Amino acid sequence: MSANESTHLPMSDSHVVVTGSSSGIGKATAIEMAKQGARKVLIHYRSNIRGAEGTAKEIEGFGASATLCQADLSVSEDRERLVEVAFREMGNIDAWVNNAGVDVLTGEIASLDFEKKLEKLLTVDLVGTISLSRMVVARWRLLGNKPVPPSMTFIGWDQAMKGMEGDAGQMFGPVKAAVMAYASNLAQSVAPNIRVNTVAPGWIKTAWGSETTEYWSERAKSQALMNRWGEPNDVARAVVFLSQKDNQFFTGQTLEVNGGWNRRYHQG
């Protein structure tokens, strides 16, 4: 039986957009949405078309339909096109997930200097995400208020405001803190007609986590009370929880997905 044939699942009959769903957390989120009953899922990607096609295949396996859309979020025309395609292809959109973010830790970008990496993160993760969100909100408003308000979820970072030493902390910290601040302010601006929440992942095993050193791997595990890396699916389930139509009383929230931060002294 496909997800859409079952009686009631958390995302039953929903139309969902997940940015950056060609890999990692976005991919897991798009697939989890379909598994939990979403009827239509828009898979956005920038360059990894094979990854996006892989996501589509898995989504279709759950009985949902998949639409692919390429867009570089650092380019304003691309952002406009993504919103255009999304509303044209999906009709109404029940849940929009702003997940896309530049990976500055692996691949060629990793060898750039601090300022260049910071610039990329600011352009894509912050300016691109804010600009995109504002266009989506404007389209939702044009369509008029719905009995069930649509949901927008942002992806932050659990350590953004707590602080982490080193260049990674000094780059991701301010960028993701700003994304989370934007989400909180947007939630205040659009309630009760649109719900806005943030999921703040901890150490999640995606590309960097899979190839990192033993030091960072051990550190990632021991900083979680659950004593393991987070998986993309752990984050995906939290996004589904906040996006689902039944959870109407959740807005302006930040949900950390980090296995519980370990504050114990010298313990695993």
Ligand X SMILES: NC(=O)c1ccc[n+]([C@@H]2O[C@H](COP(=O)([O-])OP(=O)(O)OC[C@H]3O[C@@H](n4cnc5c(N)ncnc54)[C@H](OP(=O)(O)O)[C@@H]3O)[C@@H](O)[C@H]2O)c1
Q: Provide the binding-site residues for ligand X, judged by CB under 6 A.
A: 20, 22-26, 45-48, 51, 72-74, 99-103, 124-125, 155, 157, 201, 203-204, 206-207
* C-alpha to C-alpha distances, 14 to 11, 28, 241, nearest whole angstrom: 5, 17, 13
Cβ-based neighbours of 232, under 8 Å, separated by 6 or more: 24, 25, 27, 28, 29, 204, 205, 206
Burial class of 264 by CB neighbour count within 10 A (0 to 12, 13 to 18, 19+): exposed
CB of 112 to ligand X, least distance (A): 14
CA distances, 79 to each of 98, 144, 210, 268 (Å) = 12, 22, 30, 44
Cα–Cα distances in Å, from 66 out to 22, 135, 162?
Answer: 12, 22, 38
Q: Judged by CB, which is closer to ligand X: 20, or 150?
A: 20
Instruction: Tell me the closest approach of the beta carbon of residue 210 to ligand X, in angstroms.
Output: 10
Closer CB to ligand X, residue 194 or residue 204? 204
CB of 22 to ligand X, least distance (A): 4
Q: Which residues of 117-137 are buried (b: 16+ CB within 10 A; e: fewer)?
A: bbebbbbbbbbbbbebbebbb
Q: Least distance to ligand X from the beta carbon of 6, Å?
A: 28
Q: Nearer to ligand X by C-beta: 19 or 36?
A: 19
Q: Which is nearer to ligand X, 67 or 245 (CB)?
A: 67
Supply the minimum distance, in Å, between the C-beta of residue 75 and ligand X: 8
Residue with Cβ nearer ligand X (9 or 180): 180
Smallest separation (angstroms) from ligand X to the CB of 116 = 14
Residue of 80, 1, 99, 103 whose CA lies nearest to 41: 99
Instruction: Please give the angle made by the CA atoms of 32, 34 and 40, to the nearest 5 degrees.
Output: 140
Q: Which is nearer to ligand X, 151 or 153 (CB)?
A: 153
